[in-house]
Amino acid sequence: MSSQGHGAVLGIETSCDETAAALLDGMGRVLAERLWSQTAEHAPYAGVVPEIAARAHLARLPGMIEAVLAEAGVAPSAVAATAGPGLIGGLIVGAHLGKGFALARRLPFYAINHLEAHALSARLPGVADEPPAFPYLTLLVSGGHCLLVETRGPGAHAVLGRTLDDAPGEAFDKVAKMLGLGWPGGPALERLAAGGDAERFALPRPMLGREGFDFSFSGLKTAVATILAGYPAGALPQRDAADLAAGFQARVAWTLADRARRAMRAANRCRVLVVSGGVAANRAVRSALAEAASGEGFTLAVPPPVLCTDNAVMVAWTAIERRRLGDPGADLGVPPRPRWAP
């Protein structure tokens, strides 16, 4: 490993509604970190407003980078920023700030793919007893993404399946809204579901019996909407709301486990299933995936919630993985892009 490979890396994340900066040493240990979730800015609109997000990133990110550098007291030897996929305004803010910083200090710059960063986050020191060896399976389930990937190494990801419509977190948020819960709705829906009977309502099992590894959540969401339409406005009993929430959550957990199980059977070189993204915080989802993994002889690796949701640590870490393979970080010419396969 070159001595450069051991230097500290500044990571920047601005692809959605988390503004984040982190400085990691060459081994991947966090020297300083700042993370600001913009939830309160977007909550009045019950969803992320791209223009508000971009302005909020611009207002906060420079100060957060300064704070991270001051706290760590170590100069970075490279800069890494998420360049996609995500909301273009935020990507422009983060990637260009990172590029400007790298240019001014004559440092290598790494344009990071956000999906790759989620997939590699499970290899950060301390996340798993043993960092998962390549190749492994990654299931990414968040508000914006739903992907099943064979992670073979930095820059080497084979997408096995993706959602045909909504991401699971998006489906949680939309069903939570129908049930009159706040935004983001996933955690509130999970709390409501805790007292519910998942089998009371006949809800469909998405993609039941379908070949392949793709996902779909809109049929399930519509089934919930159809049941709710049968109640007069404002007359949904708490019991029924809880049963519907539990039924919806159980079907999401079932379909995630079903698709993951199929992928574990097909990807016979893999032994670990990594799960990342905000929906990985859901206990029903985790336990369905844990059961599926152990049934297939796989180990389940779920990073802690702060690393599952968007953060700058995984962005810096991805650059560290690339540096270890000798990637010099010559990405100043890589533009921010809203769509970018891992």
Binding of residue 310 to Zn ion (CB under 5 A): yes
Asked whether position 13 contacts Zn ion by CB under 5 A, the answer is: no
Q: From residue 210, give the alpha-carbon distance in Å to each of 169, 259, 330.
A: 22, 9, 43
How many residues form the binding site for Zn ion (CB under 5 A)? Answer: 2
Would you say 84 or 277 has its CB closer to ligand KG4?
Answer: 277
Residue 110, binding choice from ligand KG4, Zn ion, none, Cβ under 5 to 8 Å by partner class: none
| Residue closer to Zn ion (CB basis): 185 or 303 | 303
Would strands 18-24 and 30-37 be described as parallel, antiparallel, or unpaired? Answer: antiparallel
Cβ nearer to ligand KG4, comparing 85 with 108: 85
Tokens read off for 330: 């010559």
Using CB under 5 A as the binding rule, whether residue 258 contacts Zn ion is answered as no
Instruction: Give the Cβ contact number of residue 58 at 10 Å.
Output: 18
At closest approach, how far in Å is the CB of 171 from ligand KG4? 8
CB-based contact 205:149 (threshold 8 Å): no
For the bound state, the minimum distance from the C-beta of residue 107 to Zn ion, rounded and expressed in Å, comes to 25
In the structure encoding, which two tokens stand for residue 275, read together? Answer: 């799960």
Helix (H) or strand (E) holding 160: strand 156-162
Neighbours of 36 (CB within 10 A): 18
Instruction: Determine the residue with CB nearest Zn ion.
Output: 310
Cβ-contact 85, 147 below 8 angstroms: no
Nearest alpha-carbon partner for 11 in 315, 251, 230: 315
With CB under 5 to 8 Å by kind, the binding choice for 77 among Zn ion, ligand KG4, none is none
- 33 makes contact with Zn ion (CB under 5 A): no
Maximum distance among all Cα pairs of the chain, rounded to whole angstroms: 68
Residue 108 interacting partner from Zn ion, ligand KG4, none (CB closer than 5 to 8 Å by kind): none
Please, are residues 115 and 342 in contact by the beta-carbon 8 Å criterion? yes
Rounded to a whole number of angstroms, the distance between the first and last alpha carbons of the chain is: 25
Q: Which residue lies nearer to ligand KG4 by CB, 5 or 186?
A: 186
Where along the sequence are the contacts to ligand KG4 (CB under 6 A)?
16, 142-144, 169-170, 172-173, 184-187, 190, 277-279, 281-282, 309-310
Comparing CB distances to Zn ion, the nearer of 147 and 250 is 147
Q: What is the per-residue binding string for Zn ion in 125-154, x denoting contact by CB under 5 A? A: -----------------x------------
8 Å CB contact between 285 and 169: no
Residue 279 contact, options Zn ion, ligand KG4, none, Cβ 5-8 Å cut-off depending on partner type: ligand KG4
Q: Which residues bind Zn ion (CB under 5 A)?
A: 142, 310
